[in-house]
Amino acid sequence: FIQIDTYLSICCCNNEFQSTTFNKRRLQRHIEDDNELERDGFCQNPFFECLVAEVPEEHKSKEGFTVVGYALYFYTYSTWRGRSVYLEDLFVMPEFRGNGIGKGLLCKVAEVGRKKECVRLQLSVLDWNKPSRDFYAAKGAQDLTVSEGWHFIRFDGQNLDNLANEAPKD
């Protein structure tokens, strides 16, 4: 009973996406301006793509929302393997979990990636999030932390600024 569609088609016909589905309560600590989402997703070279899951009006959430989940992803490239799709966030409202919505979104991202000739789908899961790790493992995902010893590294904030300031000048 769900419909999975692109961010664009839902956003154009339904303001719910910006106000609720991206689960503003969750994202607010990261993205404070709705315009930032629109700018980054709808520029000439978008930084992300997004699928949303919408239920019929008669199955809407307790808060009255019909858009109940999303998968935000982007493309990357591996010098070893080629084109890849990276799943940045998969979210389904708690009251709708266990109904196949997350699986549907994940499978749709995989389908989108395959259509663009991606050779793999990558994502990160926090160590404490065992339900999500189990969910992905049940679908065939490999935990590279265990099997290959990969570490996820990040520069942000002042560390990113410091690194950028050390770049060779033209």
**Whole-prediction pTM value?**
0.82
Q: Are 106 and 70 in contact (CB under 8 A)?
A: no
DSSP structural state of residue 96:
G
Residue 156 falls inside a structural domain:
no
Residue 128 falls inside a structural domain:
no
43 confidence band (pLDDT: 50, 70, 90): confident
Give the model's pLDDT for residue 162: 97
Burial of 117 (0-12, 13-18, 19+ CB in 10 A): exposed
Residue 25 falls inside a structural domain:
yes
Residue 16 falls inside a structural domain:
yes
Residue 61 falls inside a structural domain:
yes
Helix (H) or strand (E) holding 164: helix 157-165
Percent of the chain with pLDDT over 70: 80
Give the model's pLDDT for residue 13: 33
Give the model's pLDDT for residue 25: 41
Strand, helix or coil at 50? strand
How does the average pLDDT of the chain come out, rounded?
Answer: 83
Residue 141 falls inside a structural domain:
no
Pick the residue with more confidence: 108 or 15? 108
For residue 94, give its domain range. 3-123
Residue 12 falls inside a structural domain:
yes
Active-site residues: which are they?
Answer: 136
Q: Is the dihedral of CA 101, 136, 77, 127 positive or negative?
A: positive
Residue 111 falls inside a structural domain:
yes
Q: How many domains does the chain have?
A: 1
CATH number for position 66: 3.40.630.30
